[in-house]
Amino acid sequence: MLGAVVGDVVGSIYERHNLKTKDFPLLSPGSRFTDDTVLTIACADVLLNHDSGGNLPSNHDYASSFRDYYRRYPNAGYGRSFANWAASDLAPAYNSWGNGSAMRVSPIGFAFNDLEQVLTEAKRSAAVTHNHPLGIKGAQATASAIFLARTGHDKAAIKSYVETTFDYDLTRTLADIRPSYRFEVSCQGSVPQAIVAFLESTDFEDAIRNAISIGGDSDTIACMAGGIAQAFYGGVPDVLSQPVIALLPASFQEVLQAFTARYPA
């Protein structure tokens, strides 16, 4: 899941200052982690509490983890609906179709060795907030792409599976998308674009540059693309991973280390 975190941090300074080029500094003094990273770590924290049978203790589920991490890091840039939900212990899922379900799901693509398990767990992680079918679909598409990428499937197979299973249009190239693409928080309007950014990439860094170069919700698109790219290319270059890890709180670093040890890519 480190690739997702790196994508978020690199994209953090471009979300409000969109680019339409691949020529930009990857990290700068303003680079920071956002809600994408916080909730990705929260998702990983849940998975680390699974027992050998895939069960969770009753007091540690996605909803409680997301709320806990929100309350520890309340100023990371959450959407209003999520913040209202997380601030309440009793608020129900709010039928969101936004890309928040997909931005946080990458650990699930790394943690299971069966595609059906990945799809089931992605739905569980999404449904506590994003129980709209499009919100669930975005999480499942992202997690399944990561699973397929890390289990040896080539880009053609990943593209075909996502198009067939989730009815996403992956035929538009970045050159087609880039000129008119604007800020879009729906799964339908950002998950396919993130997957295309990965599909057109030549390595991990190129996937991140592709994702940010279209503009829009840059940190989240790069987060999604980064998770898939890490899985496909077998890791994240040290030149990016080390400075990004250094920006994270110690507790995040501990979760990353524990997750990588338990679920090596």
Which 8-state DSSP code applies to residue 98? B
Query: Residue 264 has what pLDDT?
Result: 82
CB 212 within 8 A of CB 14: yes
* CB < 8 Å & 24+ apart, contacts of 59-65: 61/128, 62/124, 62/125, 62/128, 63/128, 63/129
Question: Is 25 within a domain?
Answer: no
Q: Point out the residues of the chain with pLDDT beneath 50.
A: 52, 58-59
**pLDDT value, residue 50:** 65
Query: Domain for residue 21, yes or no?
Result: no
Q: What is the dihedral of CA 68, 253, 12, 237, to 10 degrees?
A: -150
135 touches 96 (CB < 8 A): yes
Structure tokens at 221: 């698109």
In a domain, 251, yes or no: yes
Model pTM score: 0.95
* In contact, 106 and 227? CB cutoff 8 Å: yes
Kindly state whether residue 23 falls inside one of the protein's structural domains: no
In a domain, 27, yes or no: no
Q: Is the residue at 22 inside a domain?
A: no
Domain holding 105, by residue range, is: 2-16+32-262
Tally of domains in the chain: 1
Residue 77 inside a domain? The answer is: yes
Q: How much is the pLDDT for 56?
A: 54
Residue 120 domain-assigned (yes or no): yes
Q: How much is the pLDDT for 16?
A: 86
CATH of the domain at 97: 1.10.4080.10
Distance CA 248, CA 53 (A): 31
User: What's the pLDDT at 52?
Assistant: 44
DSSP 13-58: TTSSS--SSS-S-S--TT----HHHHHHHHHHHHHHT--TTS---T
pLDDT at res. 71: 97
Sign for the CA dihedral angle at 23, 28, 98, 227 comes to: positive
pLDDT at 49: 83
